[in-house]
Amino acid sequence: MIPTNRIVELSSTIHDQTTKLDAYLTANNLPTPSFDISCPLKLLLPPDIQALRDAVLEATDELIALMLGPVESLIPPPNSWISVTALQRFKIASSFPPTETSTFGEIARACSIPESDCRRLMRHAMTFYIFSEPSPGIVAHTASSKALAEVPPAGAFIGFVAEEMLPASTRLVDAMQRWPGSEEPSETGFALTYATDVPMMQVTSADPRRAQQMGNAMSFLSSRPGENVRHLVDNFPFSAVGLLVDVGGAKGTVGMEIARSAPEIKVVVQDKPEVIKDTDIPEDLKRRLKLMGHDFFTEQPVKDADIYLIRNVLHDWSDKYAAKILRNLIPALKKGARVLVNDRCLPPPGALSLYKARQPRASDLYMKGIQNAKERDSADWITLFESVDKRFKHFEVISPPGSNCGLGKESARHFARLGASKLILAVRNVKAGEDAKQDIQNTTRCSPDVIEVWPLDLASNASIKTFADRVSKLSRVDVLLENAGISTHSWELVQGFERTIAVNVIGTFYLAMLILPKLKLSAEEFGSRPRLTVVSTEVHAWAKFPEWKEPNVFDALNDRSRGTFAERYLTSKLLVVLVARAIAPDLKGSGVILNVLSPGLCHSELAREGSIFLTTMKLFFGRTTEMGSRTLVAAALAGSESAGKYMHNGEVDDQRLSPFVRSEEGQKAAEKVWEELRAILDSIDPGITR
């Protein structure tokens, strides 16, 4: 049952998160969102700030539904696509320049439509903030109409949805009744809509206009941050692969990216002959990349490759046909070969907010309506492979984060340049760690013996213990730099605690407690001042943290109904600061310097790559990864003046701490959190916090 004060809670969330977002925009001299044509088409926000935007959207969506009530919210507006479809079909947004105004009559003549129809359609579009009417009969552009005019792929996507997907969806239920349980691509809502027994893919391919529109629409979709090929390239160790076959790889865009990321790899890109014809292979890739005509419903001709990549293919097909695609790979697979699927994976129920879950669930139904295809969750993917051949093993579903600062890698590069005799890269993905090691060696010319890659998963107590045991066997340890952390948008309990808290707080300080004795011993034996440096963020100051007043803080943070995922991340970074301040006094006289830092807002190339709107405008803000990493190194090398302190921009600056942290209440909260965390850590490893 929804609590009676839910609308007030949502209103408060919207106000609080919007205020924080506005503060960030103001502090960075960025424009506030508006409908004016001067508004940037896309704002690229760092993960911390993007989480605030997501929280506002989620709360607003729920508040609108509550305000509408159960009946009105049940009935979606059936006409919402009418006007935007007309804008696209008649090229209305391009009928006059964005910086000028026009009249309904002038627009109608330019677009060859009756003026009365033009007026009705545009005034409907204006209710969605597309165009405006500053004075009677005078039409002006808004940011959205300008985007429609200046970003053609967006218009192609609108056309594809309006002409193919929406009509098919209106007959989906009819198709389900006519062909119950069908997996055939010719027995669909699309087939009923267009009175055909030919699958949608073939129908659109036979019509040059529709084929081009569909191709441009797919380009628009693939340009979105979540579809960016860098998620694949940056999260799989392609440098360790000899031969890769890209099955259904279209014109080779992805294959080329992979080939450039791994200089030793050889790539074969396969698709139908009519798809790959007239495709030019760049001169620098001609010796390592090959195009091959192949129908993936026939036996795979390339034998004994290391990887068979299937990207954004299987979700276009029902299980029957997806299984056929996979089955045709089997004769080519050598022992140890991998089938790498880069496709959408539906979240489990409850993992996302209803607002965020709506789009992938709608996509699943659209796929059924046009092709009897489907989106799959992790269990569906495993079931699909097992149904094809029981010899498929080692299933792993990985959802790479949308961005990655790479601060740890860049910090390690700095330490290598400073002449460190030994660097341990603690990583969750060992192969990715080895790639980072090689990159650091190539750029610093350090000895291959300097850097070692060790596995570490802060979500696993066993992994943390194993890692710490290895550390204890080292001759000395001078710096423990704890930079790992996550920001998640799905609910998951890890070893009894919400994942964000489990990794960013419990795992972080469990590792610190395990390695602290080695740091103290190093100080004693070598007369050194080892550093324990923990990374937080300046947005810790935005956490509300009402949980500190609850009987048990960590129990309260395990309550799924409390707060948003964005708030949990902020809270986790606040807890890091509080715990560090509580621990620091106990380390006086130990020889170990504990400090906390904020690296500032930073982003990598991956975080900078956004949607197709970036062809018009890019906003780069935040510091580079390399710049941010300097703050980590500065903290890890800081002197005794940094003990127990907060560092910002490489300098001790406790004034950057939130007023709450510096208050008497903050001191009480720090003591309370540390006592509870001590109990948790001692339950994991008795006596560890003594």
347 DSSP 8-state letter:
P
CA distance 366 to 362: 6
648 φ/ψ angles, rounded to the nearest 5 degrees: -140, 130
State in Å, rounded, how far the first CA of the chain is from the last one. 45
Amino acid at 477: V
Q: Cβ-count burial of 618 within 10 angstroms (0-12 exposed, 13-18 middle, 19+ buried)?
A: middle
Task: Dihedral sign for Cα 601, 607, 611, 614, please.
Answer: positive
3-state secondary structure (DSSP) of residue 310: strand
Q: Are 150 and 614 in contact (CB under 8 A)?
A: no
**Strand ranges in 240-390 using DSSP code E only, listed in sequence order:** 243-247, 266-271, 289-293, 307-311, 338-342, 345-346, 376-377
How are the residues of the chain apportioned to helix, strand and coil, as percentages rounded to the nearest 5? 55, 10, 35
CA distance 477 to 522: 6
The residue annotated as part of the active site, out of 141, 315, 540, 648, is 315
366 φ/ψ angles, rounded to the nearest 5 degrees: -60, -45
Helices 152-160 and 82-89, packing angle to 10 deg:
130
CA distance 572 to 12: 21
Hey, what are 565's tokens?
A: 């995922």
Query: Is 124 among the catalytic positions?
Result: no
Q: Are 489 and 565 in contact (CB under 8 A)?
A: yes
CA distance 258 to 244: 9
The size of the chain, in residues, is 690
Active site residues: 315
